[in-house]
Amino acid sequence: MRLITIIFLLSCISIFGQTNVDNQLAAYNFPKIKSSITMPVTIPLSEISNMINASVKELIYQDDSYTDNNNDQFKVKVWKTRPIRLVGGTNQNLLIEVPLKIWAEKGIGTLGVYTYQNTTFETVMSFNTSLSLRNNWTIATNTQPNGFKWVTKPVLDYGKIKIPITSVVEKNLKEQQEKFAKTIDQQMATQLNFQQYAVMAWNVFSQPFNISEEYNTWLKVSPVGVNITPLTFYANQIDANIGIDIYSETFTGSKPTSSQPVKTPPNFLATPVLADHFILQTTANVPFSEATNIARNMFLNKEYDVRGSKIKIKDIKVYGVENRVMIEAETEGYVNGKAFISGIPVYDEVKKKIVLSNTKFNLRTANILQKTATLLFKGKIVKMIEEEYGIPTLELEQTSKKSIEESFNKEYYKGLKMTGRVFNVKPSSILLNPLGITAVIDTNATLRLIVNGF
């Protein structure tokens, strides 16, 4: 019965793929990302059937007195012969069949002198149970008797005299069926109460997770709301869609403050429909030190021709200025000085890179004569930066897709199995922070939870 726990655990599984940031720089709290997860949940009716069968003893009813019920001279015992069977109806209801074996003994006589004869027969008792999930995480059921189906009818055999006792037995069983219907409702209300699990799951995320001891990076996932579609009944299962609204936050430095724990679970909202697919947003953080290493690997000590002369890049670094990425290249040769190329970081889906757009150029040099070459140099180096420089994301996308799918296809607890598929992982927007570049990653996926053995 860790269903709700698992549902909320799913919120954090796919966000642990965030890259780390340089812990030598000042602490920084990355953007608070709001996401939603939509997850179909399937509960086989066999699971509810197992629960009911476990709570109903083999001997259901016993009347050992001849003189009760106005001296009816009748004894009866009722057993469950096979497991109770559940079938999904069409109007949020369950059809329940209880196969019974009945032993009855009836006394025939007068003036206190009776002759007793017993018989054994079988019947199937039917019930109709309506079932709904209240928004306070409890199950509401209403079970009503739905008659009998005789397998063998009760007859007392006195040799030449055979006395049918169907009417006597039916009267007794109808009374017991009313009581049994109440027992079914009580058992379901007790066993299918998700409140304690919702509280437990909610409070799990009041504690931030340390996702990197090396870089002292923390992840805090906060569920803020749950939406659930109406229960749908089929022949052998109950389906519902659960939508979880969450905030994910990344922190570096000290452990962030925990949220206050809750004692009662927040109510969920009923919604008529939720999308089959969901988009989960997470962040991947690329420190400027890593962006600088990428630039150095690409351009350091490379030479370029300008008017038949050589220009060599002898140093290069990358940092942020307001909302732009600045590439500072120190050159020697035909142009001695520093070139500053800034641009707005964007994601190029074709190149699978974070590249610079809307670039601007500035050259600082002590030689005033060299400024005549600025236009030629500008065209050369800006084109080079725009075409060649970029922070590759293909490996990140492939790795994230693989790790998320692995997380989506596991049995985290016995009897609770997840199956899922990731269709697409790509950056949707690029943000700057004092430490580096933050890519907001969109994950388009499907996820299903199957309850089997709670």
**Residue 16 predicted with pLDDT over 60:** no
- The whole-number pLDDT of residue 372 equals 60
Quick check: pTM over 0.75? no
Mean pLDDT of 158-170: 77
**Residue 145 predicted with pLDDT over 90:** yes
Which tens digits make up the pLDDT trace of 34-48? Answer: 888 787 888 888 877
In this structure, are residues 408 and 421 in contact, taking their beta carbons and an 8 Å threshold? yes
Q: State what percent of residues in the chain have pLDDT above 70.
A: 85
CA distance 275 to 239: 14
Task: Tell which residue, 291, 292, 311, has the closest CA to residue 301.
Answer: 311
Which tens digits make up the pLDDT trace of 325-365? Answer: 999 999 888 778 888 999 999 999 999 899 999 999 888 87
**Mean of the per-residue pLDDT values for the chain?**
79
Task: Annotate the chain with three-state secondary structure.
Answer: CCHHHHHHHHHHHCCCCCCCCCCCCCCCECCCEEEEEEEEEEEEHHHHHHHHHHHCCCEEEEECCCCHHHHCCEEEEEEECCCCEEEECCCCEEEEEEEEEEEEEEEEEECCEEEEEEEEEEEEEEEEEEEEECCCCCEEEEEEEEEEEEEECCEEEECCEEEECHHHHHHHHHHHHHHHHHHHHHHHHHHCCCHHHHHHHHHHCCCCEEEECCCCEEEEEEEEEEEECCCEECCCEEEEEEEEEEEEEEEECCCCCCCCCCCCCCCCEECCCCCCCEEEEEEEEEEHHHHHHHHHHHHCCCEEEECCEEEEEEEEEEEEECCEEEEEEEEEECCCEEEEEEEEEEEECCCCEEEEEEEEEEEECCCHHHHHHHHHHHHHHHHHHHHHCCEECHHHHHHHHHHHHHHHCCEEECCEEEEEEEEEEEEEEEEEECCEEEEEEEEEEEEEEEECCC
Which tens digits make up the pLDDT trace of 165-184? Answer: 788 777 777 887 888 888 88
| Token pair for 5 | 């726990």
What amino acid is encoded at 257 in this protein?
T
Mean pLDDT of 65-77: 80
Q: How confident is the model at residue 9 (pLDDT cuts 50, 70, 90)?
A: very low
Q: How confident is the model at residue 374 (pLDDT cuts 50, 70, 90)?
A: low
- The whole-number pLDDT of residue 205 equals 60
**Residue 318 predicted with pLDDT over 90:** yes
CA distance 111 to 288: 105
Higher pLDDT, 437 or 260: 437
Mean pLDDT of 116-132: 88
Cα first-last separation, the chain: 5
**Residue 15 predicted with pLDDT over 70:** no
- The whole-number pLDDT of residue 142 equals 93
- The whole-number pLDDT of residue 143 equals 92
CA distance 445 to 17: 15
- The whole-number pLDDT of residue 214 equals 59
